[in-house]
Amino acid sequence: MIIDTNIILYTALDHPAFQQSCTDFLIRVEREEIQGFIPSVVLQEITHHFIISELMEKGYGKSVVDCIARYKRDPLIMNELSKTWIEIQRLFKINCTILYDNPEMVRDSIPISRNFQLFTKDAYIVSCAQFNKISHIASNDKDFSRVPWLSVWKPQSDNRGSPDS
């Protein structure tokens, strides 16, 4: 099952409604009850979110724009980050396979974007799933439901949702 950015972020950033459901899901992946796959674009997006979140926490800005502007003026602030790198290392310990880019997936993401009305990143994730013959995704993004061959597991705020193996 492909794991989308929001599933990991809900767990790592303690989302009030979805944290428990997503944590339970990731525990099942860690126990190898569910085979998890993370496209490299998801890993990049997660890292970006963690960096911005930690920069805000450390007072380098109140918004994404503020943090990026501060980083552009002083890139050495990256040396002050610690939680970001710890969280990223945790991802590599949950028995997921990282799916790396290839030219075919990039090329195929263009018609996928057009055919299913998806933004670029989501189209690339669908292309990655298609290329790797994966037909399930864990995501809270309703846009993936427009892809007829892709089964979407969504986290439940009341913790009743559980993905099938």
pLDDT tens-digit map of 117-146: 999 999 999 999 999 999 999 999 999 999
Q: Work out whether strand 96-99 and strand 136-138 pair parallel, antiparallel, or are unpaired.
A: unpaired
For the segment 1-27, the average pLDDT, to the nearest whole number, is 93
Please determine, for residue 93, whether its predicted confidence score (pLDDT) is greater than 70. Answer: yes
For the segment 78-99, the average pLDDT, to the nearest whole number, is 90
Helix 103-116 and helix 120-131, axial crossing angle in degrees, nearest 10: 120
- Which residue intervals of 74-145 are DSSP H helices? 83-91, 103-116, 120-131
pLDDT in the model for residue 14: 86
Tell me the pTM: 0.87
Residue 98: pLDDT band by 50, 70, 90 thresholds? very high
For residue 121, what are the CA distances in angstroms to 66, 98, 99? Answer: 24, 16, 14
**In 3-state terms, what secondary structure has residue 137?**
strand
pLDDT in the model for residue 161: 47
Question: Which secondary-structure segment (H or E) carries 6?
Answer: helix 5-12
